[in-house]
Amino acid sequence: MISFNVIRWIVWKDFVTELRSRETISSMVFFALIVILIFSFSFSMDQQAAREVIAGIMWVAFAFTGIIGLGKSFSTELQNDCLEALQMVPEAKGAIYLGKVAANFAFMFVVEILLFPMFVILFNLEVVEEISLLLLVFFLATVGLSAIGTLFSALTVQIRAREVMLPILLLPLVVPVMIAAVEATKGALNGDPPALYEQWLELLAIYDVVFTVVSFWMFEFVMDS
Amino acid sequence: MTNFYIRWGGVCIVAIVLIVLTYNHYRDNLASLAPQQVKQEAPAGEVRVLGMVQGGTLETRAAGEATFSLLGESVSLPVHYEGPPPDNLRELKILVLIGTWTADTQVFEARDIGIVPNYGFIAGAYLLGLLPLALLLFAMTRRVSLLYEEIKASKLYEEE
Amino acid sequence: MTIHRVIRKVQRFEGWFGGGAALCLIAGLYVGLIGSPPDYYQGEVVRIMYIHVPLAHTSLLGYTVLAVGSLWYLWKRDPIVDNMCQAVAALSAVFTALALGTGMIWGKPTWDTWWTWDARLTSFTVLLLILIGYLMLRTFVDDPEKEARYGAILAIVGFVDLPIIHFSVEWWRTLHQPQSISMRGVSISSGLLVPLLLMSVGMSLLFSYMLMVRTQLLYLDRLLHAKKGRLLSQFHLSKSDS
């Protein structure tokens, strides 16, 4: 049985660490800002061109910042042998996974919410009506990224060259999330009728369910010691 | 190890035989003359000529009959085509004509149009597909036999 | 350990697999290159299909074997199954790369381009990336048990992901280029089927044979390693005794 206590404590622990050190979210936000800056230098865009590529730029920035956050999620546990302590939790390991997914999801979602106004201002976007649909896209895609990302964060933390291996292993596997998120965001930003892109939302939902279940199951084997 | 090399020798021989058979089969399709060669050498019998249909010279008379000039590097060759209705006879198209050169009228009597051979792609694909596999398999089997010998040679051998 | 008995039994027929592969491939090459007529639409270039499609099929077959083996490993923790997984991953990566290469060579004369973001080409590229990631991951772990476990986890997650990747890429393609050039235009007539079938069977047999050889190689490597370690420790023991 999954203990909700364990989930709650893990989330609480990560939040408190983050509140005290402010390391993860601040580094994610600044990295994303730099990515946005580089992109706006590389493509000189008017508003029309921005509409075409902005969804792609947005999700590239979100994915890279997400990877920074995910990498930190377990590498901070290496200090003071916290990882061994986590492995010794007598409850089912799935609880640790769910707690970590919740914490990672919260960090990534907060960063995305903080960054989105920057995109709106810097690229002169007009978003009025579609904001709830966009939030749904952000929510679904971030759940997918954090569900599979947390598993691979735990998997790569104990190997050599982990900073390199996490994106190398993760990015091919999240290709569907990236495609679906970019297409749905593009549809929402262009103000298309939702019927045109709801298939992408369905794909994201399916991906979320499938990979939460698979990663939850596989996490037992990662933490197995 | 001798058995191993004998087996791979057999594989090599089979491969060579296959290559030779294939090459012989396609040799007829590979050889083709240029229009200037036809004019100079005036070959007797049936030949294949490779060239481009010159722009503005194509005149179709009936479904399977046409006249045009076939352009080589410098010389162009008057052609009278009579045969099965062609699919790919267009101006500025590069093609291979099969027919005979009549020296009296200075007209090439073509009876069929062949496809321009692009066997390079096919040969490349088969080489790319099979050669690395063969090399990999050779390296692996060789390593396995060497490992067997090394394990047998090292002392303290216990059957597991 | 029943799996050992099964492997030993199959290993006894190793030569049959190799011989069968050689026979099928020779027959398939002969029929494909010499015995069969050129295709009506594609001309001679269609002969590339006889090597490209079997390579692609076989690499997918290999990935399925990898996923099943990984599940088996996580269940029973059998080192020989892990050797098999490592072998099949490397071979699948080679077959996938060759399938992509021959596909590119096929694309040049038929579509006049080396590369197109076709759904199949794209999902095969992602498959190749996952397999290379798997092999890289295995080199970066020090503990052999952990190496096997992590590899198995990645293989299973990737296997579940594969159909989703394929569908998403296909939807994405149809969205951006409705009249996309696709391989579905190739209708397979019975004349093409014989060499294709022969080559497919031959490639699958060749893959099985190579898999056996490579599994053996990795197993013997491990055995030699262990034996050297044992010799070394005995040497040290005898030193410390005297």
- In this prediction, residues C37-61 reach a mean pLDDT of 84
User: Would you call B37 exposed, middle or buried from its count of C-beta atoms within 10 A (0-12, 13-18, 19+)?
Assistant: middle
Q: Among B121, B126, B130, select the one facing C109 at the smallest CB separation.
A: B121
- Specify the pLDDT at position C97: 96
pLDDT beyond 50 at C182: no
C-beta separation of A56 from A182 below 8 A: yes
First to last CA, chain B: 24
Confidence of residue C181 (pLDDT cuts 50, 70, 90): very low
A31 vs A40, which has greater pLDDT?
A: A31
Give the structural domain span for C27: 15-37+46-179+189-230
- In this prediction, residues C95-120 reach a mean pLDDT of 87
First to last CA, chain C: 40
Q: Report chain A residues whose CB lies below 8 A from the CB of C148.
A: none
Greatest mean pLDDT among B15-19, C30-34, C62-66: C62-66
Total number of domains in chain C: 1
Q: Which chains touch A (3 or more CB pairs under 8 A)?
A: C
pLDDT beyond 90 at A195: no
- Specify the pLDDT at position A205: 96
Q: Does C68 touch chain B (CB under 8 A)?
A: no
User: Would you call A125 exposed, middle or buried from its count of C-beta atoms within 10 A (0-12, 13-18, 19+)?
Assistant: middle
pLDDT beyond 70 at C177: no
- Specify the pLDDT at position A98: 94
CA distances from C169 to A163, A194, C115 (A): 28, 20, 15
C-beta separation of A203 from A180 below 8 A: yes
Q: Does C210 touch chain B (CB under 8 A)?
A: yes
- In this prediction, residues B33-53 reach a mean pLDDT of 78
Tell me how far apart the alpha carbons of residues B96 and B74 are, in angstroms, rounded to a whole number: 17
- Specify the pLDDT at position C124: 93
The mean of the pLDDT values for chain B is 80
Q: What is the pLDDT of residues A58-112, one digit of tens each?
A: 999 999 999 999 999 998 888 888 888 888 887 778 899 999 999 999 999 999 9
Give the relative orientation of helices A93-122 and A47-75 as an angle to the nearest 10 degrees.
150
- Specify the pLDDT at position C102: 93
In a domain, C84, yes or no: yes
The mean of the pLDDT values for chain C is 86
In a domain, C240, yes or no: no
> What residue in B sits closest to C224 (Cα-Cα)?
B151
C-beta separation of C75 from C64 below 8 A: no
The residue of B26, B29, B121, B136 whose CB has the most chain C CBs within 10 angstroms, and thus the best one to mutate to test that interface, is B121
- Specify the pLDDT at position C236: 72
ipTM of the complex: 0.91
In a domain, C156, yes or no: yes
- For residue B104, what are the contacts with CB-CB under 8 A and spacing of at least 6? none
pLDDT beyond 90 at C227: no
CA distances from B5 to B14, B41, B125, B139, C212 (A): 14, 50, 27, 12, 19
Give the relative orientation of helices C119-139 and C49-76 as an angle to the nearest 10 degrees.
40
Q: Does C144 touch chain B (CB under 8 A)?
A: no
pTM above 0.90, yes or no: no
Tell me how far apart the alpha carbons of residues B155 and C20 are, in angstroms, rounded to a whole number: 37
The CA distance from B63 to the nearest CA of chain C, in Å, is: 20
Q: What is the pLDDT of residues B66-124, one digit of tens each?
A: 888 888 777 778 888 887 776 667 777 777 788 888 877 788 888 877 766 678 888 88
First to last CA, chain A: 20
Q: Report chain C residues whose CB lies below 8 A from the CB of A83.
A: none
Backbone angles phi and psi of C125, in degrees to 5: -65, -40
> Is B125 in Cβ contact with C51 (below 8 Å)?
yes
Give the B window 31-50 contacts with C, CB below 8 Å: none
- In this prediction, residues A165-170 reach a mean pLDDT of 94
Q: Report chain C residues whose CB lies below 8 A from the CB of B156.
A: 227, 230-231, 234
> Is C228 in Cβ contact with B154 (below 8 Å)?
yes
Residue B98 β-bridge partners? B48, B112
User: Count of CB atoms within 10 A of residue A114's CB?
Assistant: 14
> Is B140 in Cβ contact with C206 (below 8 Å)?
no
Strands (E), B22-88: 46-53, 59-62, 65-71, 76-82
The residue of C11, C57, C198, C227 whose CB has the most chain B CBs within 10 angstroms, and thus the best one to mutate to test that interface, is C227
- Strand B59-62 relative to strand B76-82, pairing: unpaired
Tell me how far apart the alpha carbons of residues A175 and B130 are, in angstroms, rounded to a whole number: 31
Q: Percent of chain B, pLDDT > 90?
A: 17
> What residue in A sits closest to C145 (Cα-Cα)?
A225
Amino acid identity of residue B82, one-letter, is: E
- Specify the pLDDT at position B87: 66
Confidence of residue C224 (pLDDT cuts 50, 70, 90): confident
